[in-house]
Amino acid sequence: MSKISKIGVLTSGGDAPGMNPCIRAVVRTAIFNGLEVVGIKQGYKGMIENDMYEMGTRSVSNILNLGGTILKTARCLPFRTDEGMETAYQNIKAKGIDGLVVIGGDGTFTGALRFSQKYPDIAVIGVPGTIDNDLYGSTYTLGFDTATNTVIEAIDKIRDTADSHDRLFFVEVMGRDSGAIALRAGISCGAEAILLPEKSTALADLIDHLKNGATNKKSSSIVIVAEGDKTGGIYDLAKAVQNEITHYDIKVTVLGHLQRGGAPSSFDRVLGSRLGFAAVNALIAGQSQKMVGLEANHIKLTPLDEALSHHDFKLESDLLQMVEVLSI
């Protein structure tokens, strides 16, 4: 592969706190090394619609503390077609782009890998940006820490009112396929139960556990439910429990998209900076079709196809064991 001279950077899929620190690191690392940088708006949609602009060091001033992404993001169905990819390729070639840093999740990486395989003269490095923390090859993904802290802050406030009114709250958090946010937030907030997509929980067992809490004179209870939990919708779940437990006044709170927003935490600012810096250096070193990740506090390169083929991402076994032990 020829030497990289101009890098395009984009964010795609769901936004995640920490994307802006990553963009900043990509731009400034590239310029420091004598490369040009092009910002691509709205992910792959910007490649197809030719919505791109030259970026300089001042283009990324004062964005470390901003949530979301200054480059915007979108899901782009036309990019899945050969025609869409060809249009995207012609547009970035016209701009002189020969390397891409793509920040996003598994859908973003699937598109990036297919694009780079189809057009191998465009080097591609992926940065894991998803609050779900469910990508193989990185212990933590951009946005996970901030989203978890946002959930913790919300549940701490819910606990105050639950305790005041002798209430049982069911709180739904994001995580269609991953219970990472639910698990860590639940332990941090002392949840009485945590329902996860990775672990089946029988309704009868949940009811017995909550009844024991009432017997032990707990003044409030919090049940955290990941949106992908297999017991069904949170409202139906709360109704089923209400029919069996009369001690508590039961309420439901769905935290929704507030989990995606907010200023990135210190951890996500540093992580975004490290991964953006590493992504550019990987391109300079001639790497392609790789994801930069963080494992054991060291940067690691994982082939994109490997990162996408591992769907057995496991939650920490000790945390799963702690849930029941610490909630008595």
Measured distance CA(102)–CA(235) in Å, rounded: 37
pLDDT for position 218: 66
Indicate whether 304 pLDDT > 70: yes
Residue 231 confidence (pLDDT) above 60: yes
Q: Is 132 a catalytic residue?
A: yes
Read off the DSSP letter of residue 4. Answer: P
- H/E segment holding residue 180: helix 180-189
219, pLDDT greater than 80:
no
Which residue out of 98, 106, 132, 229 is catalytically annotated?
A: 132
Give the contacts of 228 (CB within 8 A, at least 6 positions apart): 175, 176, 177, 178, 179, 197
Q: Please indicate, yes or no, whether the overall pTM of this predicted structure exceeds 0.75.
A: yes
Percentage of the chain with pLDDT > 70? 96
Report the C-alpha gap between 183 and 204 in whole angstroms.
21
Q: Which amino acid is at 62?
A: N
pLDDT band at residue 103 using 50, 70 and 90 as cut-offs: very high
**Pick from 153-157, 207-211, 214-218, 288-292: least confident:** 214-218
Per-residue pLDDT reduced to its tens digit, 133-191: 999 999 999 999 999 999 999 999 999 988 888 889 999 999 888 999 999 999 999 99
